[in-house]
């Protein structure tokens, strides 16, 4: 009977050959031990590589500049880009630290600056991506993902409502849709509206803006215009949507204002369009709606730039100063009373208030604002 054979590393080895058998044992042991050692070695190298990359990122941090303008730019970048390029777990953990309210139906978070609510082309991280992680951090690994109840623009900060189940999310969405939710925003504007309080009731529509870069923007679609000193009714566009914003000035200087905005309707970019094109008071840091024909950094006066500690060439770093300050939800489900949610200002917003000489409303005025 022929002795069995095995093929190892290109050699045919017979069991009866003692010399080659010893060689087979030696080679096979060495081969197996090397293969077994390669896995932890690769893992070790990977860990070392990750540590080196992390150390490189730390050492690459921009040093604090002696130039005051550059220091101001670094400050703005630090305040506004903290959570835009982090791991989803890091973002979820940050959101848990900013929870404004939590019960068996709802979770209310403080939305950071620069994070879109939904994904899309070029979006690396968004709020909806981390809802499953956030739910597990709050309710354990078996928790179902949280659900969005409404949306905020990428650059807008402040109160954002999430629900634990789809039915509750639909109920809250219906409250927003039927205008039963009171929404109040704070904005810093680069000029002061006249009069200091009022209502902007001008329809809004989306149009293509002609310029060096063709792009689409929301714009006013007024129902009337002045012609030879007379008010003339215009033909309304089918694409125009009713848009109503109540506003009032909380604090002002000669060139800037802190405003409270109460959108009665919820049209895309409504507040920014009404302020910029309706009241000629664009929001500080609104690089899209400060000029109709151009997509360019907002043009600011020399005095405003000086107060902000910036030059016009660095104005592109100024974030949008629009903050969802307050939401009042009516009684819902087992909750028999309304829910008043107030969110503190982000750091960059508060710093700009101080630099521009704008005063925060005192407690009494703020309370009156919240109950009106």
Helices (H) and strands (E) in the chain, counts: 9, 16
> How many other C-beta atoms can be found within 10 angstroms of the C-beta atom of residue 308?
21
Rounded Cα gap, residues 225 and 176, in angstroms:
32
pLDDT for the residue numbered 72: 86
pLDDT for the residue numbered 280: 95
Rounded Cα gap, residues 21 and 136, in angstroms:
57
- Over residues 245-265, the pLDDT tens digits come to 999 999 999 999 999 999 999
CATH number of 68-225+233-361: 3.30.2350.10
- Please list the ranges in the chain whose pLDDT falls under 50: 5-18, 20-39, 59, 364-372
Rounded Cα gap, residues 300 and 284, in angstroms:
9
Distances (CA, A) of 131 to 84, 85, 170, 173: 16, 17, 17, 17
- What's the mean per-residue pLDDT of the chain? 84
pLDDT for the residue numbered 83: 82
Rounded Cα gap, residues 52 and 56, in angstroms:
6
Give catalytic residue positions. Answer: 153
Burial class (CB in 10 A: 0-12, 13-18, 19+), 37: exposed
Structure tokens that stand for 354 in this block: 């101080």
Q: Per DSSP, which regions of 86-136 are E strands?
A: 101-102, 106-111
pLDDT for the residue numbered 162: 97
Q: Per DSSP, which regions of the chain are E strands?
A: 5-8, 11-14, 101-102, 106-111, 147-148, 157-163, 182-189, 197-201, 204-209, 215-220, 224-227, 230-233, 244-252, 257-263, 322-329, 339-342
Rounded Cα gap, residues 46 and 37, in angstroms:
14
Rounded Cα gap, residues 310 and 70, in angstroms:
8
Structure tokens that stand for 63 in this block: 């040093």
pLDDT for the residue numbered 368: 44
- Over residues 72-112, the pLDDT tens digits come to 888 888 878 878 888 999 999 999 999 999 999 999 999 99
Rounded Cα gap, residues 278 and 275, in angstroms:
6
H-state helical runs in 247-293: 270-273
Rounded Cα gap, residues 260 and 191, in angstroms:
14
pLDDT for the residue numbered 54: 62
Distances (CA, A) of 118 to 36, 105, 128, 275, 364: 45, 22, 6, 25, 37
Burial class (CB in 10 A: 0-12, 13-18, 19+), 319: buried
Closest by Cα among 138, 142, 111 to 127 = 111
Answer whether 206's CB lies under 8 Å from 240's CB: no
């Amino acid at each position: 009977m022929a002795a069995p054979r095995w093929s190892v590393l290109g050699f045919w080895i017979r069991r009866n050959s003692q010399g080659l058998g010893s060689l087979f044992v030696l080679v096979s042991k060495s081969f197996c031990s090397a293969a077994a050692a390669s896995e932890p070695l690769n893992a070790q190298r990977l860990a070392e590589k990750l540590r080196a990359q992390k150390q490189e990122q730390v050492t690459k941090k921009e040093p604090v500049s002696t130039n005051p303008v550059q220091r101001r730019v670094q400050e703005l970048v630090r305040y506004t880009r903290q959570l835009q390029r982090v791991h989803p777990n890091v973002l979820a953990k940050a959101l848990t630290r900013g929870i404004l309210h939590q019960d068996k139906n709802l979770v209310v978070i403080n939305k950071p600056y620069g994070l879109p609510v939904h994904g899309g082309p070029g979006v690396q991280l968004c709020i909806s991506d981390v809802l499953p992680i956030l739910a597990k951090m709050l309710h354990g690994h078996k928790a179902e993902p949280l659900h969005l109840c409404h949306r905020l623009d990428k650059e807008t900060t402040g109160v954002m409502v999430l629900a634990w189940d789809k039915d509750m999310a639909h109920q809250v969405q219906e409250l927003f849709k039927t205008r039963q939710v009171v929404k109040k925003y704070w904005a810093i504007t680069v000029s002061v509206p006249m009069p200091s309080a009022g209502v902007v009731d001008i329809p809004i529509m989306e149009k293509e803006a002609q310029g060096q870069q063709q792009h689409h923007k929301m714009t006013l679609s007024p129902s009337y215009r002045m012609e030879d000193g007379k008010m003339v009714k215009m033909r309304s566009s089918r694409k125009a949507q009713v848009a109503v914003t109540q506003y009032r000035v909380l604090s002002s200087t000669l060139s800037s204002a802190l405003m409270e905005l109460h959108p009665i309707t919820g049209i895309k970019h409504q507040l920014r369009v009404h302020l910029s094109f309706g009241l000629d008071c664009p929001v500080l840091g609104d690089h899209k709606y400060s000029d109709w024909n151009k997509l360019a950094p907002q043009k600011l006066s020399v005095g405003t730039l000086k107060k902000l500690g910036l030059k016009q060439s660095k104005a592109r770093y100024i974030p949008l100063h629009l903050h969802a300050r307050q939401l009042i939800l009516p009684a819902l489900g087992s909750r028999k009373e309304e829910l008043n949610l107030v969110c503190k200002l982000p750091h960059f917003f508060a710093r700009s208030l101080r630099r521009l000489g704008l005063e925060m409303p005192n407690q009494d005025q703020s309370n009156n604002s919240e109950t009106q």
